[in-house]
Chain A
Amino acid sequence: MKKLWTIAWKELYVRFTDRNLMLIMIATPLALSTIMGLAFGGLGGGSSPVTRIPVLVVNHDAGSEFGVNYGDIFLSILVPGTDGAAAAGELPACSLDGGTKTGTESDQFSLQELTAAQAFGAEQAEALVREGSIPAPAADPGSAAYVDSAARSAVERGLYAAAIIIPEDFSRQLSFSPASPDTGRTQVTVYADPGRPISAGIIGSIARGITNQIATGNIAIAATLGELQASLGGPAMGQAAANIDFASAFACAFDPGSSTISIDRQMVRRAQQENRAALVLVVVGSAQAMFFAMFTAQFGVLNMHWERRGWTLQRMLISPTPRSIIMGGKLVGVFISVVSQLVVLLLALTLVGSLLQGRFILIWGDQPLLILIAILAASLAVSGFGMLLAGLVKSPEQASVFTSALNIGLAALGGSFGFTLPKAISQLSMVYWGRTTFEMLAVGNSDIWVNVLVLVLQGAVMYAIGLLLFNRRFENV
Chain B
Amino acid sequence: METMVEIKDLTKTFKRPDGTPIQAVKGISLDIYKGEIFSLLGPNGAGKTTTISMISGLIEPTAGDAKIGGYSIREQPIKAKQLMGVIPQEVALYPQLTARQNLEFFGKMYGLWGKELNRRVDEVLELIGLTDRQKDRVQTYSGGMKRRVNIGVGLLHRPALVYMDEPTVGIDPQSRRRILDTVLQLRDEYGMTVLYTTHLMEEAQELSDRVGIIDHGDIIALGTQGELIQQVGEQDRLILNVGRQPVSAELLKELQDHIEGVTHAMYDPPGSGENSHSDRGLITVTATRGRRALPEILHRIAEAGLEVQSVEVREPDLEAVFLNLTGRALRD
Within the assembled complex, what's the spacing in Å between the Cα atoms of A370 and B58?
44
* A106 CB–B CB distance under 8 Å: no
Within the assembled complex, what's the spacing in Å between the Cα atoms of A316 and B14?
22
Q: Do the beta carbons of A18 and B92 come within 8 Å of each other? A: no
Given known A314-B58, A476-B59, A476-B60, contact A319–B109 (CB-CB < 8 A): yes
Which of B82, B90, B96, B153 sits near A17, CB closer than 8 Å? Answer: B96
Given known A314-B58, A475-B60, A477-B59, contact A321–B92 (CB-CB < 8 A): no
Contacts of A314 in B (CB 8 A): 53, 58, 88, 92
Contacts of A17 in B (CB 8 A): 96
Within the assembled complex, what's the spacing in Å between the Cα atoms of A18 and B96?
8
Q: Do the beta carbons of B90 and A320 come within 8 Å of each other? A: no
* A3 CB–B CB distance under 8 Å: yes
* A450 CB–B CB distance under 8 Å: no
Q: Do the beta carbons of B78 and A315 come within 8 Å of each other? A: no
* B141 CB–A CB distance under 8 Å: no
Q: Do the beta carbons of B105 and A10 come within 8 Å of each other? A: yes
Given known A14-B96, A314-B92, A477-B58, contact A320–B82 (CB-CB < 8 A): yes
Q: Do the beta carbons of A321 and B90 come within 8 Å of each other? A: no
Contacts of B111 in A (CB 8 A): 320
Within the assembled complex, what's the spacing in Å between the Cα atoms of A6 and B102?
12
Contact with B along A199-237 (1 / 0, CB 8 A): 000000000000000000000000000000000000000
Q: Do the beta carbons of A315 and B59 come within 8 Å of each other? A: no
Q: Do the beta carbons of B106 and A319 come within 8 Å of each other? A: yes
* A145 CB–B CB distance under 8 Å: no
Given known A3-B109, A6-B109, contact A315–B96 (CB-CB < 8 A): no
* B168 CB–A CB distance under 8 Å: no
* A311 CB–B CB distance under 8 Å: yes
* A322 CB–B CB distance under 8 Å: yes
Contacts of A321 in B (CB 8 A): 109
Given known A315-B153, A318-B57, A322-B78, contact A2–B113 (CB-CB < 8 A): yes
Contacts of A315 in B (CB 8 A): 86, 88, 92, 106, 109, 153
* B81 CB–A CB distance under 8 Å: yes
* B190 CB–A CB distance under 8 Å: no
Within the assembled complex, what's the spacing in Å between the Cα atoms of A312 and B59?
15
Contact with B along A452-477 (1 / 0, CB 8 A): 00000000000000000000000111
Within the assembled complex, what's the spacing in Å between the Cα atoms of A477 and B54?
11
* B267 CB–A CB distance under 8 Å: no
What's the least CB distance linking A324 to chain B, in Å?
12
Q: Do the beta carbons of B60 and A320 come within 8 Å of each other? A: no
What's the least CB distance linking B109 to chain A, in Å?
4
* B56 CB–A CB distance under 8 Å: yes
Within the assembled complex, what's the spacing in Å between the Cα atoms of A319 and B88?
12
Q: Do the beta carbons of B81 and A319 come within 8 Å of each other? A: yes
Contacts of A127 in B (CB 8 A): none
Within the assembled complex, what's the spacing in Å between the Cα atoms of A449 and B81?
47
Q: Do the beta carbons of A14 and B97 come within 8 Å of each other? A: yes
Q: Do the beta carbons of B110 and A319 come within 8 Å of each other? A: yes
Within the assembled complex, what's the spacing in Å between the Cα atoms of A321 and B78?
7
Closest Cβ neighbor of B88 among chain A residues: A311
* A103 CB–B CB distance under 8 Å: no
Q: Do the beta carbons of A316 and B88 come within 8 Å of each other? A: no
* A99 CB–B CB distance under 8 Å: no
Residues 282-296 of B at the A interface (beta carbon under 8 Å): none
What's the least CB distance linking A424 to chain B, in Å?
40
What's the least CB distance linking A398 to chain B, in Å?
13
Which of B78, B96, B97, B109 sits near A316, CB closer than 8 Å? Answer: B109
* A358 CB–B CB distance under 8 Å: no
Residues 292-337 of A at the B interface (beta carbon under 8 Å): 310-312, 314-322
Contact with B along A1-31 (1 / 0, CB 8 A): 0110010001001100110000000000000
Contact with A along B52-67 (1 / 0, CB 8 A): 0100111110000000
What's the least CB distance linking B48 to chain A, in Å?
15
Within the assembled complex, what's the spacing in Å between the Cα atoms of A322 and B79?
11
Within the assembled complex, what's the spacing in Å between the Cα atoms of A6 and B77?
21
Within the assembled complex, what's the spacing in Å between the Cα atoms of A188 and B185?
88
Closest Cβ neighbor of A313 among chain B residues: B92
Q: Which of B109, B111, B153 has the most CB of A within 10 A?
A: B109
Contacts of A318 in B (CB 8 A): 56-58, 81, 84, 86
Contacts of A3 in B (CB 8 A): 108-109
Q: Do the beta carbons of B109 and A312 come within 8 Å of each other? A: no
Within the assembled complex, what's the spacing in Å between the Cα atoms of A311 and B53?
12
Closest Cβ neighbor of B90 among chain A residues: A311
Closest Cβ neighbor of B109 among chain A residues: A319
What's the least CB distance linking B15 to chain A, in Å?
9
Contacts of B105 in A (CB 8 A): 6, 10
Contacts of B219 in A (CB 8 A): none
Within the assembled complex, what's the spacing in Å between the Cα atoms of A314 and B84?
14
Contacts of A316 in B (CB 8 A): 106, 109
Q: Do the beta carbons of B60 and A317 come within 8 Å of each other? A: no
What's the least CB distance linking B75 to chain A, in Å?
14
Within the assembled complex, what's the spacing in Å between the Cα atoms of A3 and B77?
17
Within the assembled complex, what's the spacing in Å between the Cα atoms of A12 and B102?
15
What's the least CB distance linking B56 to chain A, in Å?
5
Q: Do the beta carbons of A14 and B56 come within 8 Å of each other? A: no
Within the assembled complex, what's the spacing in Å between the Cα atoms of A291 and B82?
43
What's the least CB distance linking B121 to chain A, in Å?
14
Residues 143-180 of A at the B interface (beta carbon under 8 Å): none
Q: Which of B53, B56, B59, B92 has the most CB of A within 10 A?
A: B92
* B93 CB–A CB distance under 8 Å: yes
Within the assembled complex, what's the spacing in Å between the Cα atoms of A393 and B76?
32
Contacts of B58 in A (CB 8 A): 314, 317-318, 477
What's the least CB distance linking A386 to chain B, in Å?
20
Q: Do the beta carbons of B94 and A312 come within 8 Å of each other? A: yes
Which of A14, A320, A475 sits near B110, CB closer than 8 Å? Answer: A320
Within the assembled complex, what's the spacing in Å between the Cα atoms of A316 and B109?
7
Closest Cβ neighbor of B111 among chain A residues: A320
Which of B56, B81, B92 sits near A311, CB closer than 8 Å? Answer: B92
What's the least CB distance linking A262 to chain B, in Å?
62
Residues 29-77 of B at the A interface (beta carbon under 8 Å): 53, 56-60, 77
Within the assembled complex, what's the spacing in Å between the Cα atoms of A226 and B234?
131
What's the least CB distance linking A46 to chain B, in Å?
42
Q: Which of A3, A6, A312, A477 has the most CB of B within 10 A?
A: A312
Within the assembled complex, what's the spacing in Å between the Cα atoms of A466 and B111?
29
Within the assembled complex, what's the spacing in Å between the Cα atoms of A6 and B79?
21
Closest Cβ neighbor of A321 among chain B residues: B109
CB-defined A-B contacts under 8 Å, sample of 5: A14-B97, A316-B109, A318-B86, A320-B78, A320-B82
| 15 further interface pairs, Cβ-Cβ under 8 Å (given A314-B53, A320-B110) | A6-B108, A10-B94, A17-B96, A311-B90, A311-B91, A316-B106, A316-B109, A318-B84, A319-B81, A319-B109, A320-B78, A320-B111, A322-B78, A476-B14, A476-B60
Closest 4 CB pairs of A and B: A311-B92, A319-B109, A311-B90, A320-B81
